[in-house]
Amino acid sequence: MLAAVTVLAGLAGSSLASPFFSPWSSEELFNRAVTSSGCSTSGTASCTNTSSVSDLCCFQAPGGLLLQTQFWDTSPSTGPSNSWTIHGLWPDHCDGTFDSTCDASRAYTGLSTYWKDIDGDDESFWEHEWSKHGTCMSTLDVKCLPSGSPKGAEAVAFFNTVVKLFKTLPTYQWLADAGITPSSSTTHTLASLTAALKKGYGFTPALDCDGSNVNQISYYYHLKGSVIDGTFVPIDAPEAGSCPSTGIKYLTKTGTPVSTTSTTKTTSTTKTTVGLFVNCGTTGLMSLQTSTTKTTTTTSAPTTIPTKATIQAIQNGNQVGGLLSLGTWSTQTLATYTLSGSTSSLKLSTSKGTCGVSGGVFSCGDGDSSTFSAVSSGGLLLLAYQDDTSFSSDNVPSGSTVYAVNTGGDDDEVYTLSIIST
């Protein structure tokens, strides 16, 4: 699982958070956070009521259709290369129309008062997301807060909720689990992307494209109770996004990957350090860091590769055989590969000889020797050639058939190759 998702588990529970670039005191935020609304979560979900509901502190209306939106920005790239980033949480009316900027008196343009020392661009992003969307949430109205709540407490609750939802929506991993990883050349159908995401989410999200490039996703919910601590009920997107039905590209992001490996040790003196990346268009990148005492989770990009491994083919989230000693794809007993170098510069060989790519075809033992790389994705270590983790063949092997392995995703059957230490 992605670190950006996994490690954030601590945030919701602890309510201790600080900006990554310039920390504010965790006590300060803790004091401002409202963690309990006092609302029941067993009542009618927003947008599903059949008669008028009067207590809008515990029933989100009129903005009862909630969208958790995420970006995949590649030009320029923002955030890690292997995680989508938060755009926001938007309260649409049940019919898809929406209000924005609902309470100018709570625009909180001096959000640095509440989140100290936030970098300028990031601060304006937070202000924008809060004042445009957060102020339209009935359950975050000032009158709904416990008496004596400090100014801005509902904005803190809003961001805590956005982060909590985001950590349950690992878009990158859900796609990777289906063998769909970023590539400059592979194209996808809307149906294949949607099927992969539905498998993870349980419902159909909406995908937006810039031309043919996917760049945003919206996960839809109804809400039982308050945005502060209510139950988000996932639903199918009421309408499709802007992506075409075929020819969709999921382009590679440059940037530092979020680590997918972590080691945890428990002590009484150190802190958990985690990262979350948030952005809005090209206007900014925000990172959060949570700290708690007692547990240290150190995440680091895997820098070691196994010296002996088998290479499994993963197609649509399932293993289908792997590579034989000549570098072909088969469901017969897999060959042992010898690996040397690093994740960024990797050499492979088998009992037949060195492995390389010639004319777009991967093979071992015919004199070629190419440099590969290894990419952590969805908990797997994937083989990549020229930064592309897609490989493809004419057909899917079974029994004793073998197929040539082409680099890139241009052939009929596309898959990734997972390096498994032996």
Ligand X SMILES: *[C@@H]1O[C@H](CO)[C@@H](O)[C@H](O)[C@H]1NC(C)=O
392 is written with which tokens? 């493809």
Task: Please identify, using beta-carbon distances, which residue of 11 and 61 lies nearer to ligand X.
Answer: 61
* Contact region with ligand X (CB under 6 A), list: 48-56, 96-104, 195-203, 258-266: 48-56
* Contact region with ligand X (CB under 6 A), list: 6-14, 46-54, 161-169, 198-206: 46-54
Residue 305 phi, psi dihedral angles, 5° rounding: -120, 150
Closest approach, Cβ 155 to ligand X, in A, equals 23
* Contact region with ligand X (CB under 6 A), list: 20-28, 43-51, 173-181, 193-201: 43-51
Does 49 contact ligand X by CB under 6 A?
Answer: yes
Q: What angle do CA 333, 334, 335 make, to 5 degrees?
A: 120
Task: Please identify, using beta-carbon distances, which residue of 87 and 222 lies nearer to ligand X.
Answer: 222
Closest approach, Cβ 52 to ligand X, in A, equals 4
Amino acid identity at 370: S
Task: Please identify, using beta-carbon distances, which residue of 50 and 268 lies nearer to ligand X.
Answer: 50
Closest approach, Cβ 42 to ligand X, in A, equals 17
Amino acid identity at 323: L
Alpha-carbon gap, residue 128 to 136, rounded angstroms: 12
Q: Which of 50, 105, 147, 269 forms a contact with ligand X (CB under 6 A)?
A: 50
Closest approach, Cβ 49 to ligand X, in A, equals 4
Q: Which of 51, 263, 268, 400 forms a contact with ligand X (CB under 6 A)?
A: 51
Q: Which of residues 53-72 bind ligand X (CB under 6 A)?
A: 53, 61-62
Catalogue the active-site residues. 87, 129, 133
Q: How many residues bind ligand X (CB under 6 A)?
A: 7
Closest approach, Cβ 57 to ligand X, in A, equals 12
Alpha-carbon gap, residue 345 to 341, rounded angstroms: 6
Alpha-carbon gap, residue 172 to 6, rounded angstroms: 13
DSSP per-residue codes, 287-344:
EEEE--EEEEEEE-------SEEEEEEEETTEEEEEE-TTS-EESSPPPPEEEEEETT
Q: Spell out, one character per residue from 323 to 342, where the chain touches ligand X: x when CB under 6 A holds, - when not.
A: --------------------
Alpha-carbon gap, residue 70 to 218, rounded angstroms: 7
128 is written with which tokens? 């924008």
Task: Please identify, using beta-carbon distances, which residue of 33 and 61 lies nearer to ligand X.
Answer: 61
* Contact region with ligand X (CB under 6 A), list: 47-55, 245-253, 290-298, 386-394: 47-55
What 24-33 contacts at long range (C-beta under 8 Å, 24+ apart), as own/partner pairs, is 24/115, 24/116, 24/117, 24/118, 25/116, 26/291, 28/116, 29/115, 29/156, 31/150, 32/114, 32/150, 32/152, 32/153, 32/156, 33/153, 33/156, 33/157, 33/160
Closest approach, Cβ 54 to ligand X, in A, equals 6
Task: Please identify, using beta-carbon distances, which residue of 93 and 132 lies nearer to ligand X.
Answer: 93
Alpha-carbon gap, residue 292 to 114, rounded angstroms: 20
Does 400 contact ligand X by CB under 6 A?
Answer: no
- Start-to-end Cα distance in the chain: 22
Question: Around Cβ 404, how many Cβ atoms within 10 Å?
Answer: 16
Task: Please identify, using beta-carbon distances, which residue of 50 and 400 lies nearer to ligand X.
Answer: 50
Q: Which of 42, 52, 268, 400 forms a contact with ligand X (CB under 6 A)?
A: 52
Closest approach, Cβ 56 to ligand X, in A, equals 6
Residue 253, C-beta contacts closer than 8 angstroms, at least 6 positions apart: 72, 73, 74, 77, 78, 79, 80, 81, 82, 182
Task: Please identify, using beta-carbon distances, which residue of 48 and 254 lies nearer to ligand X.
Answer: 48
Chain contacts with ligand X (rule: CB under 6 A): 49-53, 61-62
